[in-house]
Structure 1
């Protein structure tokens, strides 16, 4: 067992999580042959098969599950050791692993840029995924901090609000409703709509809002990218509801416009969350404190700088 390496355990965990050697290789930025070779060596070390394939699905064997459980304990102990060493050194250094839901990518990098200038000794890693992906990684305690606009109610978490997140109805600038005020919500029923993919936090909020107002819209297409949605709106494919933070450049350039619809903007918030009881590293705590104290100011200044003078 002592011949097993941390690298091999990391590969096993990624395969178990994705159910795929290929996707694990992509996440770890390795070739698939390398992944297969490392798992072969780990299997030889253990002396029992770690995976079994049923049809196209890959599953952990009983031995594989035992190794995965041990791997989680080992990873946690190394994380605790890293935190303890950093604290003994009294240094704000190390690496912070961050996860953000898709729409948060429009403001989180701005925070990272300012933070990096203040703390160049801290390494930052940001993973972007949809709401389902954020919650899955949170449940597995894979990362340090998580940005989301819809904190889970079924997980025990620490929650820190950092920024308002208004959701607005977006249309092409030449749309007939552009410039009108107090547009009735029911008028949206006559418009084609573009929705985010299933699993998106924004989509769930919009669906709940429309259901509460008894409005059924004609969804002409689902897209998994806010950038694709904005291009589709500009091309006249339909209206959509997006975070106002994602629209700075397009609204300033006159490509898109925000419609004045009753009940909008839907006022939401961005939060930084992490599992209750999680011991944050000095670096992660420094970033959390920074985001809470300066996040709103940084984003507002960024938006102001985009306005032509």
Structure 2
């Protein structure tokens, strides 16, 4: 194994990613036979089978997945080395792969723009997805830092808070509860809700909030796949929603939605920046995490109730 090369590891990565020899060969600029020989030689050297050859394509074995993990760690180490050399030369350069849960897309561009003003030479690649997608990419070393409401618990991470994340009940402007003060949990539980998918942070928070309401959790309402769809459904009168206050700034300003004055809300959660505990923190990551710690909160949207108090107050 001491003669293992980066080229061989990148071959394993390409086959795992694309699933077929011909696609991986094209991606690497090789012929199919040449790539096949590389894999066969690697399997002989390691004395293990890296892939199962199936009709559907190349499926990595447990040994293949171990090689893939090693390849990802080496790529990260090389990227970290490049960033460290730049830092030692006094160059504030580097690359940051940032993952943001879908609720965060309403403020992520402002965060990135503010950060780039301070450190213009750091390149940022942004990926936005649901919570499960972001966690998977963080676990698989495909992103460096994730911005999310709750750090994952199934693998070790380092995390830091960079701002408050209020969750509120919203309704169309002409709803009977608009303008009513101190709405009880029992009263709000009588409504039907438009919901995110199971496992999302806002869905879990709503379920906890209504957990003492008999039988409500058995029929919360209708699931929809994005905050935008949920907002449009609420505006159309299809139900109420429990949603991040950061997602509704424009609709509140335009008078299309209102925040309901439900007792014990807003529920205050927090935004975290999260990275894997077992990976080296690059200078680019350090710079971004420090920016979030000192300046992140000021770039989060602030939404006020039209009555009688600020959503953060």
Short-chain TM bin: 0.7 to 0.9
Going from structure 1 to structure 2, the CA distance change for 1:242 and 1:53 (only over 3 Å counts) comes to: farther
The residue matched to 1:128 in structure 2 has which SS?
A: strand
In the TM superposition, what is the alpha-carbon distance from 1:87 to its structure 2 partner? 2.5
Which residues of structure 2 form unaligned runs of 5+?
Answer: 44-48, 305-313
**Structure 1: segments with no counterpart, 5+ residues:** 22-31, 305-309
Q: Secondary structure at the match of 1:190?
A: coil
Query: Which residue matches 1:264?
Result: 265
TM-score normalised to the size of structure 1? 0.82
Q: What is the CA-CA distance between 1:277 and the residue it aligns to?
A: 4.8
Distance (whole Å) between structure 1 residues aligned to residue 221 and residue 165 of structure 2: 25
Query: Which residue number corresponds to residue 151 of structure 1?
Result: 151
Distance 1:158 1:63 in 2: 28
Instruction: Name the CA distance, whole Å, in 2 between partners of 1:278 and 1:64.
Output: 21
Give how far 1:112 is off: 0.5
The CA deviation at 1:283 is 1.8
Q: Give the drift of 1:80.
A: 3.2
Cα-to-partner distance string for 1:176-232 (whole Å, 9 max, x where unaligned): 100001111112232121110123121112112211444616444211210111011
| TM-superposed deviation, 1:67 | 3.6
- In 1, the alpha carbon distance for the partners of 2:296 and 2:6 equals 46
**Do the aligned partners of residues 44 and 110 (structure 1) sit closer, same or farther apart at CA in structure 2, a change above 3 Å counting?**
same
Q: Does 1:100 align with 2:100?
A: yes
1:225 corresponds to? 226
What is the CA-CA distance between 1:129 and the residue it aligns to?
1.5
Contact 1:12–1:68, Cα closer than 8 Å, also in 2: no
1:70–1:273 CA distance, 2 compared to 1 (3 A): closer
Cα contact 2:139–2:155 (8 A) shared by 1: yes
Counterpart CA distance in 2 for 1:135 and 1:189 is 31
TM-score, normalised by the number of residues in structure 2: 0.81
Corresponding position of 2:167 = 167
User: 1:75 deviation in Å?
Assistant: 1.6
Please list the CA deviations of residues 61-114 of structure 1 after superposition, one character each: whole Å capped at 9, or x if unmatched: 366335424423432331332233222222111111111111111112110111
Quote how far apart the aligned CAs of 1:282 are: 1.4
How large is the Cα RMSD of the aligned pairs? Answer: 2.8
- Displacement of 1:126 in angstroms is 1.1
**1:279 aligned counterpart, secondary structure:** coil
How far apart are the structure 2 equivalents of 1:251 and 1:115?
Answer: 27
Change (3 A) 1:73 1:193: closer
Q: Distance in 1 between matches of 2:155 and 2:63?
A: 29
Partners of 2:71 and 2:155 in 1: CA distance: 23
